[in-house]
Amino acid sequence: MFGARVHLSHFAAMVVFALCVSVAFACLGRQTTAGRIKYAVWSLVLFLAIGVGIAWLMYPFSR
């Protein structure tokens, strides 16, 4: 009925996932607006940095 296909690269999928989860964590984990923004940005950066870092660590074993 509403089934629209979504075509995302692996990196874009990781960014969307990290963004949604970071926003939810920030809303649930912090009380003030400033605290939430800081937490969400920090969480998003860590998600992406750790994701890319693990990808680079696994690269030698990928072929």
Q: Which amino acid is at 50?
A: I
Residue 37 found at the interface with other proteins (CB under 8 A) = no
CA–CA dist 39, 16 (Å, integer): 17
**54 and 14 in contact (C-beta within 8 Å)?**
no
Residue 23 found at the interface with other proteins (CB under 8 A) = yes
Residue 17 found at the interface with other proteins (CB under 8 A) = yes
Residue 63 found at the interface with other proteins (CB under 8 A) = no
> What number of chain residues touch other proteins (CB under 8 A)?
23
> Which of 12, 44, 6 is CA-nearest to residue 25?
44
Residues that bind other proteins (CB under 8 A): 1-8, 10, 13, 16-17, 19-21, 23-28, 31, 33
